[in-house]
A and B are shown apart, each in its own frame.
Chain A
Amino acid sequence: MIMVDMLSAILVSGIVLGSGYALMASGLSLVWTTLGIFNFAHGVLMTLGAYVAWTISSGGGLGLGLAAGVAVTVAALIGAGILIERVVVRPFYDHRDILLITVMTTLAAMIFLQNGIQLIWGARLKQLAPIVPGTVQLWRTTISAQETLMIVLAPIVLAALWLFLSRSRIGRGIKAVGQNADAARLIGIDVSRLFIITFALSALLAGLTGVLLGSVRLLTPEFGSEPLVKALIIVIFGGLGSLGGTIAAAYLLGIIEATLTFFIGIYWTPSMIFLLLIVVLLFRPQGLLGKVVR
């Protein structure tokens, strides 16, 4: 029985972590696979989403209706995503060192937004009211209902994203651009429009992640930094270039983290994970799930 308890505790905690990681990393991965850049402002977009939601939810006192609230949050994030693409990414598309330059410019966007958030909302801790209150018993392990919502919502959102990318015209366009932008342009795809849509979509995913995490964790202007780092690790570790790899890596890392935490404690878990990353890359230099292209 204790064995079962232990396994279920590890599994549940791993899936909770993994769902969070998958949501954090999906938007980042989308931009990476399509544009070949890392958007360091991805984390702060999560923060922005959470703060906007906090303001319009009753917690912030504005008390708009749910629909209006969702609309405002969505609009704010799409706007921010498009703005980032326009101002700090687009001008550098033709640059040799686009990856490095956009690391810097998106980092600048992150610094700008993070300080802007502190300026507007202040530095004090805030918490979003959970969308669903209470706790849930899952395989003999108790977790908050909000975390259960995340477990349920993450696969739905990711499946919707996958459907969008593989079924819709725009989505297929995005995939085509990701594989070869020039070829896509030749067959008449409006690449620059798709880049904007990609960024907007990614920002939206970030915002959604922020809202979900914001009621599990606490809000500060630096709220998005840790998820950003985790997401970066997952996108690279997942083996660059596929959303599927990213998502698999997210859940895998969640389970590994939960297992390590259980057996060696939280203290050494981060170090062990990093050691594990180094070791895996020694044997699979192309990432965990990346394929060797011959």
Chain B
Amino acid sequence: MDALHNGKTWLIALLVITGLLVPIFVEDTYLRHLFIIAFVYGMVAASWDLTLGYAGIFNFAHIAFFGVGIYATGLTAKVLGVDPWMAMLIGGLAASAAAAIVALPIVRLKGVYVILVTFAFSQLVLQVVISQSSITGGTQGLVRVPTIWLPGYNFLRDYKLGYYYVAFGLLVATTVCLRCLVRSDFGLSIKALRDSEDYGVSRGIPIARQRLKALVASAFFTGMAGGFYVLYLRVASPEIFDFSTASLVLSMVLVGGTSSIYGPVFAALVLTFMSEGLANIDNFAEGRFMIVAVTMVVVLLFFPKGLASMLPNGFGEKTPEILLHRKRRIAGSTDHAE
């Protein structure tokens, strides 16, 4: 155990150092850009895993939280002239506030009904963004958002070196925070509730409060990621709420492996680079997505626990469960008859 654990610690240290060294060897701005985007999606996917994987909440509003972060940061930075760094934090807080609002109805709901409410909430957010076009720019989007700054440093003329390190720093911080959360007593309690709601409550775990906390925390990190996203790209536009964004990030969570945090981050890198690698092939726009789709299925076929199960000290939750309990678990057990 200890040896394995040490091995893992070393591996993580090695990965962090590699991450820090990448820009020294990769001078190409395109590749640096891909890393930055993969880091952002890594944050979104890993924080989604907190609610989806650990807490077992079928939260389909995560991309809406990301969008809330994007617009909150973009608007405060551009319209109110708030310092962009501060605005990024506001993005995280705004996303958390949105999550708290969603939590009100869904802490009472079971299983798949959560999908419906969270999905409906996403659509409401999108509708608000589009309809308030005098503020948000509507379908046209919000352009010329000011970017982050440091005294004496120009982020726009350094071939994305600065953005790379900021994104990497945010990713490492997010991952560390999320790992700490899931290993804490709080993490234990949300996993407990995921495994068995009623039993969790019978052991004194306040279900509504823990779910609220999980949603708020998960949204905070994705909101921060959204904040960075808008400051980096300098535009906020409603396409981010598209079904395709949600399915991209969802694929990162599931291909990476739920309940692992590292898995989704890893998958974000793999999928981003793979998809972009295929984009280089001429006349292959459709084929690119077909190949990515096939890869997803193949990964899930051979690693149903996701890529995370290839990591050392894998997260080997045992599998064999029977068909019998399947639907009840999904729909949420409402059957307490004797």
Contact = CB atoms under 8 A, between A and B. Distances in A.
Interface stretch (A16-24, A58-66, A86-94, A155-163): A86-94
Contacts of A107: 247, 250-251
Contacts of A119: 286-287, 290
Given A108-B296, A119-B286, A286-B113, A92 B304 contact: yes
A82 B130 CA distance: 40
Output the residue of A92, A111, A267, A294 with the most chain B CB within 10 A.
A111
B17 to A, nearest CB: 32
Contacts of B300: 92, 101, 104-105
A233 B116 contact: yes
A282 B296 contact: no
B105 A96 contact: no
A145 interface: no
A267 B131 contact: yes
Interface string B301-316: 1001000000000000
Output the residue of A105, A180, A181, A278 with the most chain B CB within 10 A.
A278
B286 A104 contact: no
Contacts of B292: 111
Given A36-B330, A180-B324, A233 B119 contact: yes
A261 interface: no
B294 to A, nearest CB: 7
A182 B323 contact: yes
A99 B330 CA distance: 7
Nearest to B120: A274
Contacts of A109: 293, 297
B299 to A, nearest CB: 10
B123 A104 contact: no
B127 A100 contact: no
Contacts of A180: 324
Contacts of A105: 296-297, 300
B108 interface: yes
Contacts of A70: none
A281 interface: yes
A271 B127 contact: yes
Given A87-B297, A267-B131, A270-B123, A104 B255 contact: yes
Interface in A172-204: 180-182
Contacts of A103: 250, 254
A294 B293 contact: no
A275 interface: yes
Contacts of B121: 274, 278
A92 B294 CA distance: 16
Contacts of B297: 87-88, 105, 108-109
Contacts, number: 139
A229 B242 CA distance: 12
A115 B286 contact: yes
Interface stretch (A3-11, A125-133, A234-242, A250-258): A234-242
B287 A285 contact: no
A181 B124 CA distance: 38
A293 B333 CA distance: 9
A96 B258 CA distance: 12
A126 to B, nearest CB: 17
B290 A116 contact: yes
A96 B116 contact: no
Contacts of A88: 297
B108 A115 contact: no
B293 A108 contact: yes
Interface string B266-287: 0000000000000000000011
Contact of A91 (B108, B258, B301, B335): B301
A293 B337 CA distance: 8
Contact of B326 (A36, A270, A281): A36
Nearest to B242: A225
A287 interface: yes
Contact of B108 (A99, A233, A237, A285): A285
B101 to A, nearest CB: 10
Contacts of A181: 323-324, 326
Interface of B: 52, 105, 108-110, 112-113, 115-117, 119-121, 123-124, 127, 131, 243, 247, 250-251, 254-255, 258, 286-287, 289-290, 292-294, 296-297, 300-301, 304, 317, 319-324, 326-327, 330-331, 334-337
Which 6 A-B pairs rank lowest in CB-CB distance, beginning with the nearest? Answer: A274-B120, A115-B286, A36-B327, A108-B293, A112-B293, A111-B293
Interface of A: 36, 87-88, 91-101, 103-105, 107-109, 111-112, 115-116, 118-119, 180-182, 225, 229, 232-233, 236-237, 240-241, 267-268, 270-271, 274-275, 277-278, 281-282, 285-287, 292-294
22 contacts: A36-B327, A91-B301, A95-B321, A103-B254, A104-B251, A104-B254, A104-B300, A105-B297, A112-B294, A115-B293, A119-B290, A181-B323, A182-B322, A236-B112, A275-B120, A275-B124, A277-B117, A281-B113, A285-B109, A286-B113, A286-B334, A293-B334
